[in-house]
Structure 1
Amino acid sequence: MAEFTMPSLGADMDEGTLLEWLVGPGDLVHKGDPVAVVETAKSTIEVECFETGTMTKLLVEPGATVPVGTPLALIGPAKERRPARHAPKKGKPSKPAEPSEPAEVPEPPERPSPQPEPVPVPVSPPSAARLPDHIEAGPLVRHLAEQSGVDLEALHGSGPGGRVTRIDVEHAAAARAHTKSPRSRVTPLARRLAAELGVDLATVRGTGRQSAVRASDVRQAAPGPSAPALPAHTAAAPVRPSPVRPSAARPSEDRTTAMRQAIAGLMSRANRDIPHYYLSTTVDLAAATDWLHEHNRRTPVGERLVPAALLLKAAALAAREVPELNGFWTDDHFTGGEGVHLGVAVSLRGGGLVAPALHDADAMMLPRLMAALKDLVTRARTGRLRGSEVSDATITVTNLGDQGVETVFGVIYPPQVALVGFGRVVDQPCAVDGLLGVRPVVTATLSADHRATNGAVGARYLTAVTRLLQNPEQL
């Protein structure tokens, strides 16, 4: 029996609030499956399971705040979901409704002798399947039926021997949904949150099982922190009852305060404990800009690239070339990262900052990296990040060019050992081959941990970034 514990989702996390379970007792879970939604001081995160097995017991109720490492649930070994496909051995009784092969069903000698009255073979499997104690359905199907409000006794199973399958339950639940209000499948936390935020559940599209509305769906449908500043004609529209807005504003303010406190504590520790050194260089982007224009000219609008994609890919490939900057400083020594997982700094609505990871960014083709970046930023701002995305980054990139900043020197996110900064692409006069001209350039900076590397290593990294950006066909 293994314990599923509250994970550490960043160096600044000491505790988390369990908002919602995505699975229940008896559910089969696999390594990497999201099983719970946890709220930290900075974001709402879907936490993945650490191993494969059966969720046997939930130890913490939604709404509870517990320290990192606290057991949240117990996971047992994976259970067999279907009966073995072989005929029962002679002398061993078997369940009447559990024959695995249709050809073996009508054999009277195989039926258990204790039965007082033999039943005709064509009738026995269906009648046995109707008995409450002999409903042929696995634990997962029973749990799904209980969640969906489906009566297993009323179903005629489509599986072998009349066994009720997951598809049977899903079809019955879908048919039942047509006769009930769409608000019938709402988690308790989502219903309470909707009341606090003034969200009409009838307008929310559920993303849970059987289209159930979850807490994350309600948050996404709720008005953002800037809602009170909307134009007068929008604010005056009778969409939400006005008394709800003040009560919804307070949790937002508390969340922002908690987030700033968490960031302040982590950055104070980083500045105190990490001996930073800083380097910068100016990169000529003329070749990259020409290549980008030509690529976008031949590409559909939805697949075009932005300069940030080239900058991120160059940063990832350079980290692969200079692995001394791609990893962690823990227990007074450097440990290299298993792959280049590029943390991307994302500013959140209402303030705050997270840096989720683009896994294996060095191996992504540019179009895929661009799509992954869009998806990551969207989910970061709507509270749909995964636990691995907020804890696996091996090196972080911050790009403030869209804010008009030309140079940025960041603070390293521990236990990482480096942070790369990119500013705004600007046109500057440059001397090239003895001739003066105007060319697009960007300032690339590096903040690095002097315990793990020195200036020579950092210079190699920035040189690699420059070379890659001046040869965009290598990206």
Structure 2
Amino acid sequence: MPSLGADMETGTLVEWLVKPGDFVKRGDIVAVVETQKGAIEIEVYQPGQIVQFLVDLHSKVPVGTPLALIRTEGEAKAAAPPPLAAAAAPMPAPPVIPQPAAAVMPPPARPPVPLPAAAGVAARKAASPAARRLAEERGIDLSAIAGSGPGGAITSTDVERHLAAAAPPAEAKRPLGLDLAAMRVAIAAAMARSKRDIPHYYLQHQIDVTPCEHWLAARNATLPPDGRLLIGALALKAVAVAIARFPAFNGFYRDNKFEPSAAVHVGVAIAIRGGGLTAPALHDADKLSLDDLMSGMRDLVQRTRAGRMRSSEMTDPTITVSSLGERGVEALYGIIYPPQVAIVGFGKVVTRPWVVDGAIEPRSVVTITLAGDHRVTDGHAGALFLAEIGKLLQEPEKL
């Protein structure tokens, strides 16, 4: 049972998407687990063959409990029987030593003993080769099956009918969904821990995003609605790229030390209708094109609001970005989600008087905020980080 967040202690296994004997590779979705945040699709990180399930469906178990056994490719080879050695050449028969004729005494004559019939031959039921092969594969005793073929012979259809009758009824799938009350409890626990354990500092920075709006208008003019970029994609990409220069904001604080992350997995804060909130990750956001980033954001929002998230998306975020601009809020000050060390907030784009080349002009301005962990960074580093994000947003065509 994976840990799907700092606030998760247990999970409930609600569905297996594989069966024993199946081969899986890294990234395959193998199960669905219900947590306080909803139904999470569990991905596998070890390629191999599913050997055995260790937890029954609808069992609630602690984080770290083994759910299944997987035989790796190396283990499968080790478990395979060694190839049979070539059959040994037959030993020559010992030479017969002739005896004198007078010394040969013939054995007493015995009546012939009839050989017993082969066990089970008389009782063996007639069956087609296909039926015998299927029964052998499934471990079925043919004597328990009534045949419908000529002379009462058992056909493969008879074996399949027997298997269907013996199979347990399919278990009805429990409907999955978001328990918003439980999610609120989980959020409260995580945020209380964050404010108790993490020494937050807050900064804000106003940025002229008029160049972004002009560039987006020109780019989106000829595109259909589902192919257009939103300014949120530019903001997300700017944060991801700025992280490369300021890696101290990208990683985790665990065991009294900071662990920087080589990958940039940006958590996207998503509001769920009814009051829930979660922040699944967009993996390698710094390497994605703007189109791929926009597509990934849409996919995350749709699946999250449907209550179908993936385990890697819940465990991997290295920094979180939140925005309440669409709600009309001009600035937000986030709470760091442990064990991360920073969260960046974007407010609403508003029109403000702005000095450009010595003249006052109406410009589109957005307020960016940073909540940082003072155990890892300070206000000086935070100010440079926000300034870098602003600089990148001045040249959207380079993102």
Are 2:346 and 1:345 aligned? no
* Whole-angstrom CA distance in 2 between matches of 1:342 and 1:272: 24
* Whole-angstrom CA distance in 2 between matches of 1:10 and 1:433: 48
Are 2:20 and 1:19 aligned? no
Point out the structure with the larger helix share.
1
* Whole-angstrom CA distance in 1 between matches of 2:197 and 2:334: 15
**Aligned equivalent of 2:322, options 398, 409, 418:** 398
| CA deviation after TM superposition for structure 1 residue 134, in Å | 8.0
Aligned residue number for residue 5 of structure 2: 10
Percent of aligned pairs with the same amino acid: 50
Are 2:25 and 1:42 aligned? no
Please tell me whether the aligned partners of residues 134 and 156 of structure 2 are also in contact (alpha carbons under 8 angstroms): no
Equivalent position amino acid for 1:349 in 2: R
Aligned CA distance change for structure 1 residues 474 and 187 (closer, same or farther; 3 Å): farther
Please tell me whether the aligned partners of residues 128 and 134 of structure 1 are also in contact (alpha carbons under 8 angstroms): no
* Whole-angstrom CA distance in 2 between matches of 1:187 and 1:31: 29
Please tell me whether the aligned partners of residues 129 and 136 of structure 1 are also in contact (alpha carbons under 8 angstroms): no
Are 2:385 and 1:461 aligned? yes
Deviations 1:339-383 (A, max 9, x none): 110000011122211100000001111011000100011111112
Aligned residue number for residue 73 of structure 1: 68
* Whole-angstrom CA distance in 1 between matches of 2:33 and 2:238: 33
Aligned residue number for residue 439 of structure 1: 363
| CA deviation after TM superposition for structure 1 residue 23, in Å | 1.2
Aligned CA distance change for structure 1 residues 189 and 452 (closer, same or farther; 3 Å): farther
Bigger Rg, which one: 2
Please tell me whether the aligned partners of residues 201 and 373 of structure 2 are also in contact (alpha carbons under 8 angstroms): yes
| CA deviation after TM superposition for structure 1 residue 431, in Å | 1.4
The structure, 1 or 2, with the larger RCO (C-alpha pairs under 8 Å, 6+ apart) is: 2
| CA deviation after TM superposition for structure 1 residue 302, in Å | 2.5
Q: 1:108-187 residue pairs with structure 2 within 5 A? A: 130-132=131-133, 153=156
Are 2:393 and 1:410 aligned? no
| CA deviation after TM superposition for structure 1 residue 58, in Å | 1.1
Equivalent position amino acid for 2:280 in 1: P
Aligned CA distance change for structure 1 residues 133 and 368 (closer, same or farther; 3 Å): closer
Aligned residue number for residue 27 of structure 2: 32
Range 361-370 or range 295-304, more displaced: 295-304
Q: How many residues align?
A: 330
Deviations 1:220-273 (A, max 9, x none): xxxxxxxxxxxxxxxxxxxxxxxxxxxxxxxx7xx2222111111110110010
Q: Secondary structure at the match of 2:286?
A: helix
Aligned residue number for residue 232 of structure 1: none
Please tell me whether the aligned partners of residues 314 and 469 of structure 1 are also in contact (alpha carbons under 8 angstroms): yes
| CA deviation after TM superposition for structure 1 residue 136, in Å | 7.9
Please tell me whether the aligned partners of residues 129 and 135 of structure 1 are also in contact (alpha carbons under 8 angstroms): no
Aligned residue number for residue 354 of structure 1: 278
**Aligned equivalent of 1:53, options 48, 57, 61:** 48
* Whole-angstrom CA distance in 2 between matches of 1:187 and 1:462: 55
* Whole-angstrom CA distance in 1 between matches of 2:204 and 2:373: 15
TM-score by length of 2: 0.77
| CA deviation after TM superposition for structure 1 residue 300, in Å | 3.6
**Aligned equivalent of 1:323, options 238, 244, 247:** 247
| CA deviation after TM superposition for structure 1 residue 76, in Å | 2.0
Cα RMSD, aligned residues only: 2.6
* Whole-angstrom CA distance in 1 between matches of 2:170 and 2:2: 23
Deviations 1:105-135 (A, max 9, x none): xxxxxxxxxxx9xxxxxxxxxx755523687
Please tell me whether the aligned partners of residues 46 and 72 of structure 2 are also in contact (alpha carbons under 8 angstroms): no
Q: 1:273-352 residue pairs with structure 2 within 5 A? A: 273-352=197-276
Deviations 1:52-80 (A, max 9, x none): 12211111111111110112112223458
**Aligned equivalent of 1:380, options 300, 304, 319:** 304
Q: Secondary structure at the match of 1:338?
A: coil
Aligned residue number for residue 188 of structure 1: 171
Uncovered stretches (5+) of structure 1, i.e. residues with no partner: 1-5, 93-115, 117-126, 138-151, 156-171, 173-185, 194-215, 220-251
Q: Secondary structure at the match of 1:11?
A: coil
* Whole-angstrom CA distance in 2 between matches of 1:77 and 1:356: 29
TM-score by length of 1: 0.65
Aligned residue number for residue 350 of structure 2: 426
Equivalent position amino acid for 2:6 in 1: A
| CA deviation after TM superposition for structure 1 residue 153, in Å | 4.0
Equivalent position amino acid for 2:2 in 1: P
Q: Secondary structure at the match of 2:15?
A: strand
Q: Secondary structure at the match of 1:321?
A: coil
Aligned residue number for residue 101 of structure 1: none
* Whole-angstrom CA distance in 2 between matches of 1:355 and 1:64: 26
Q: Secondary structure at the match of 1:389?
A: helix
